[in-house]
Structure 1
């Protein structure tokens, strides 16, 4: 019986993807790697004036959106568990790279969803002065399996219908 772990998403089976591993015996987090080369643009690249315009103009809003970095990985776990995605401590300090959502939450029902098979992606914003190149195989973040508790009055009204962000109303 499988309790929790990682698998490679079907589309990445032939792309030499490594399953997340802990770096040391006492590490809480499993290190995730980028599944492909990509560039995370600097938020300053468009310039301050264009950035301010993007706040008020839907057509320019795309310039301020985070970049999704693919891992090629999906995670399975118990129904009362989730996978917490966190940034590497060196990313903001050395590279000006932050997880845009602060902490990512991968619910157990995200696994094998019909939209993207449960593909885990990290969403980053680059606050540095230059675009940042991420190389395939580079460690980008960590995942920590955690239990969660439910309230006495717990009621759910929906079941997962899709992939990334699909439980948003």
Structure 2
């Protein structure tokens, strides 16, 4: 287990928490009242900054209940919080549903998953190793 340090930037900001002992993501909550109309999106502040350790990242993911009941999800899912970012965590929500989506102060709007994020060492070569799949792309491994 790693320790993650949060800074409260707003009085209404809530410390993220896991809903159950087996939860992968900590719930992030809104600090403002907002309405997202169908087909629209909004950037929702959490009032939190976070210090993620080097070699790790924060992934902002949707809450399945908002998606299944309201058609609301995180637009850039998963959003990435880099280890060197120190600004406010904000969540871009989009409403694919048919009704206005009402956000209240303290409402859980997304999840924060902390995951390893090793950096790669990119380089150019004249060719890359062949595989059976080759360059067969979208849909090439089957329909089901």
Normalization by structure 2: what TM-score? 0.78
Normalization by structure 1: what TM-score? 0.67
Structure 2 alignment gaps of length 5 or more: 124-144
CA contact (8 A) 1:69 1:123 kept: yes
Whose strand proportion is higher, 1 or 2?
A: 2
State how far apart, in whole Å, the 1-side matches of 2:85 and 2:71 are: 29
Whose helix proportion is higher, 1 or 2?
A: 1
CA contact (8 A) 1:3 1:76 kept: no
Aligned residues: 122
Larger radius of gyration: 2
Cα-to-partner distance string for 1:13-41 (whole Å, 9 max, x where unaligned): xx332110111112111111111111112
State how far apart, in whole Å, the 2-side matches of 1:27 and 1:38 are: 27
Q: Which residue of 2 aligns with 1:134?
A: 103
> What pairs up with 1:63-142 in 2 under 5 angstroms?
66-111=41-86, 118-142=87-111
CA contact (8 A) 2:12 2:47 kept: no
Structure 1 alignment gaps of length 5 or more: 44-63, 112-117, 155-169
Cα-to-partner distance string for 1:86-122 (whole Å, 9 max, x where unaligned): 00011111011021112110001111xxxxxx10111
1:5 to 2:5 alignment: yes
Structure 2 counterpart SS, 1:141: strand
- Aligned-residue CA RMSD (Å): 1.7
